[in-house]
Structure 1
Amino acid sequence: MLTEIARAKLNLALHVRARRPDGYHELETLFAFVEQGDVLRLAPADTPRFRVTGPFAAALAGEGDNLVTRAAARFAESFGGGAHAIELEKHLPVASGIGGGSADAAAALRALARLHIVPLDDPGLFAIADALGSDVPACLLGKTAIGKGRGEQLQPVTGMPGTPVLLVNPGVAVSTAEVFRRWDGVDRGPLGGDPLAGRNDLEAPALAIAPVIGEVLAALAAQPGVTLARMSGSGATCFALFETVEACAAAAVAVARPGWWSAETRLV
């Protein structure tokens, strides 16, 4: 049995530049990944089997088809390899802006590639990832990168491995499609030379849907030692980068609220 960590994805900056005729949006974003994530286990089997366990399993209860099973099916179509038994141990909140489903699909592709001796940089793997969703190629790469287009055009850049990160979700799920629908269509400019000095153009529409996101951002920004506090993706999960592990741990205690999920982790 192979095990892969489906690391949470962060958009350290997310600039929405334009609506596209195909229904997607032209983006410029800085992807990064943290140690925290879901756990995917995979082994050969006589017939396909898929089950979800873990703290957030109930959110996916009854889903017979999801990004993980689609990833496995498309891998088999492209590379063969037969059927597999897959267990997804769900530790990340669902519909939370940190790439949970995309990261899970990417982890499945990596595990299948390892099992069947397919290079992880095989263009066929990235073609499958691109067809599954805009964030899946970045999650398959799993490294700090600038993303353009829908987010699938990736340029790896130097990251900040080891930087302490606190993830906080206020216990609400927001629809990515609805957040993008509410974007005001204003192009506020490209990523600059320092993407951390950028912004997340989806914060405003996400706040309109779930105002509690503002409470999370304010609580994080007020913590000693924080260097950046921002919403990730389309929300509702927010993150803060810290100067020290001690400051991150203290912030986790300070911002804790009933019903809020949080995780202390690090950039990879």
Structure 2
Amino acid sequence: MTAFRETGWAKINLALHVRARRADGYHEIETLFAFVDDGDAIEAEFAETDSLTIRGEFGEGLSAGGDNLVMKTLALLRDRYGADRVPPLAVTLTKKLPVAAGIGGGSADAAAMARLVRRHFLSELGDAALARLVSSLGADIAACVASATCLGVGVGEELSAVPDLRLGGTPVLLVNPRQPVATGPVFAAWDGIDRGPLFTGADMRAQLFGARNDLQRPAIAQCPAIADILLELGALRPWLARMSGSGATCFALFDAAAERDTAAALLAERHPGWWSMAGALR
């Protein structure tokens, strides 16, 4: 049986500036998306009817029904292009990424499903067209389609390239305390203070030091372990360490893979209960 495969690359927010609350309940943000070269795995094969099987360390308790973003994506593309173009598929999702973790797990999985369908059945679709189609399912999904470093504004769905930010191959370490953090309450606890825009310019790496994640403080209030992780990561001397998204995952960027690997080994020894993933930026 032919199996189709795709990866839901882990998303990180190198910076996330919250600018305003909107009347519809969403927030205006400016964020720099980046993606790690590892993540959840999706496999699919032809079947009589659609189905979803969820495996992996973080699969327990997740819905495998039509309300799962993976299945919503498949249904959306079939509704748009027809069953003759998008056939029934038996899908297996292997969850390597923690859920409610600020690294786009569900959005990355939805985008991976979209890429899988596009690659094998809708090859005429480019990234921009595909992102527009699936963005209605979630703001981060649009960025996850290309899974390339980009600037997101609005609610994160208005994307533009950042060619001056050349971070491909940068060693990265993700760390999570295995405590889920709900996005809604973190955004709701933002203090409403606009601390300024996320500037983009010639020396993007230098500007990253002056950037921030405005959700870090309210996320720490919900999950104090985030502060512990950031303290530990900072002591390992990366060139940048910050919380991603609404938490609780934090990331550290290093100049060399050996530095990242040494940091990962030390953290595993000191905090065996924490989850971590070592990789590189795409």
Equivalent AA in structure 2 for residue 154 of structure 1? L
The Cα of 1:129 is off from its aligned counterpart by 1.8
Preserved CA contact (<8 Å) 1:71 1:128:
no
Structure 2: distance between partners of 1:63 and 1:258: 33
Q: Does 1:201 align with 2:214?
A: yes
Q: How many residues align?
A: 267
Equivalent AA in structure 2 for residue 204 of structure 1? R
Point out where structure 1 has 5 or more consecutive residues left out of the alignment. none
Structure 2: distance between partners of 1:71 and 1:29: 24
RMSD over aligned CA atoms reads: 1.4
Structure 1: distance between partners of 2:127 and 2:7: 20
Alignment partner, residue 41 of structure 1:
43
Equivalent AA in structure 2 for residue 177 of structure 1? G
Preserved CA contact (<8 Å) 2:127 2:145:
no
Alignment partner, residue 253 of structure 1:
265
Alignment partner, residue 254 of structure 2:
242
Q: Deviations over 1:120-178 (max 9, x none)?
A: 42655223321010100000121100000010110012331111000000110000011
Q: Does 1:141 align with 2:154?
A: no
Structure 2: distance between partners of 1:2 and 1:167: 27
Q: How does 1:156-167 map to 2 (within 5 A)?
A: 156-158=161-163, 159-167=166-174
The ranges of structure 1 where at least 4 consecutive aligned residues each deviate by more than 4 angstroms after the TM superposition are 61-64
Structure 2: distance between partners of 1:21 and 1:192: 25
Q: Does 1:191 align with 2:191?
A: no
* Identity percentage of aligned residues: 49
Q: How does 1:1-268 map to 2 (within 5 A)?
A: 1-60=3-62, 65-80=67-82, 81-121=86-126, 124-158=129-163, 159-193=166-200, 194=204, 195-197=207-209, 198-224=211-237, 226-256=238-268, 257-268=271-282
Q: Deviations over 1:46-84 (max 9, x none)?
A: 101111111211142665521101111101101121311
Shift of the 62–102 alpha-carbon distance from structure 1 to 2, 3 Å rule, reads: closer
Question: Is the deviation greater in 147-156 or in 74-83?
Answer: 74-83
Structure 2: distance between partners of 1:123 and 1:238: 29
Structure 2: distance between partners of 1:228 and 1:15: 16
Equivalent AA in structure 2 for residue 171 of structure 1? R
| TM-score w.r.t. length of structure 2 | 0.91
Equivalent AA in structure 2 for residue 191 of structure 1? L
Structure 2: distance between partners of 1:259 and 1:211: 15
